[in-house]
Amino acid sequence: MTYTVKDILKIQVAPALGCTEPVAIALGAAAAVSLLPQKQIDEIEIWVDPNIYKNGLAVSIPGTGGLIGLDMASAVGALGGDAALKLEVLDAVDSPAISAAQKIVKAGRVKVNLLRDQVGLFIKTIVKGNGHTAESVITGLHDNIVSLTLDGRAIADHVLLPKAGSGDGKRRLADLEAWLKSLSLDQLLELLDDLDEEDLQFLESGVQVNMRLADYGLKHGPGLGVGRTMERLVRQGLMKRDMITAARILASSAADARMSGVKLPAMSSAGSGNHGLTAILPIVAVEKFISVDHRTTLEAIGLSHIITAYVKAYTGRLSAICGCSVAAGAGATAGVTYLMGGTKLHIAGAIKNLTEDLAGVICDGAKGGCALKLATASGTAVQAALFSLQGVNVSSTDGIIGRSSEDTMKNIGTLTTQGMIETDRTILNIMLDKQFSDV
| pLDDT tens string 75-121 | 999 999 999 999 999 998 999 999 999 999 999 999 999 999 898 89
Q: Which pLDDT does position 69 carry in this prediction?
A: 93
Q: What is the pLDDT of residues 203-212, one digit of tens each?
A: 999 999 999 9
CA distance 396 to 43: 56
pLDDT at 439: 39
- What does residue 290 show for φ and ψ, rounded to 5 degrees? -130, 165
Q: Please check the confidence at residue 169 and state whether its pLDDT lies above 90.
A: no
Asked if CATH classification 3.30.1330 holds for the domain at 18-167, the reply, yes or no, is yes
pLDDT by residue (tens digit) across 320-347?
Answer: 899 999 999 999 999 999 999 999 999 9
Q: How far apart are the first and last CA of the chain?
A: 53
Report DSSP state, residue 146: E
Contacts of 410 (CB under 8 A, 6+ apart): 314, 402
CATH class belonging to 183-433: mainly alpha
What confidence tens digit (pLDDT) does each residue in 25-70 have? 999 999 999 999 988 899 999 999 999 999 999 899 998 988 999 9
Nearest-angstrom CA–CA distance, 436 and 218: 35
The domain locations on the chain are 18-167, 183-433
Burial class for 418, CB neighbours closer than 10 Å (0-12, 13-18, 19+): exposed
Q: To the nearest whole number, what is the mean pLDDT of the chain?
A: 94
Q: Residue 168 — very low, low, confident or very high, per pLDDT cuts 50/70/90?
A: low
Residue 163 to residues 84, 172, 322, 402: CA-CA distances in angstroms? 14, 12, 33, 41
pLDDT-derived band at 438 (thresholds 50, 70, 90) equals very low
Residue 228 reports pLDDT greater than 50: yes
* Cross-strand bridge partners of residue 265: 17
**SS3 state of residue 135:** strand
380-401: average pLDDT: 97
Residues 6+ apart with CB under 8 A from 61: 18, 22, 26, 67, 68, 69, 72, 73, 76, 90, 261
CB 267 within 8 A of CB 205: yes
pTM: 0.93
- Residue 164: per-residue pLDDT: 57
| List of residues 6+ apart from 361 with CB closer than 8 A | 321, 322, 325, 326, 373, 376, 377
- CB proximity list for 60: less than 8 A, separation 6 or greater: 18, 19, 66, 67, 68, 259, 260, 261, 368
Confidence band, pLDDT 50/70/90 cuts, at residue 165:
low
Mean pLDDT value across residues 151-165: 83
Per residue in 282-324, pLDDT (tens digit) is 999 999 999 999 999 999 999 999 999 999 999 987 888 999 9
Percent of the chain scoring above 70 in pLDDT:
98
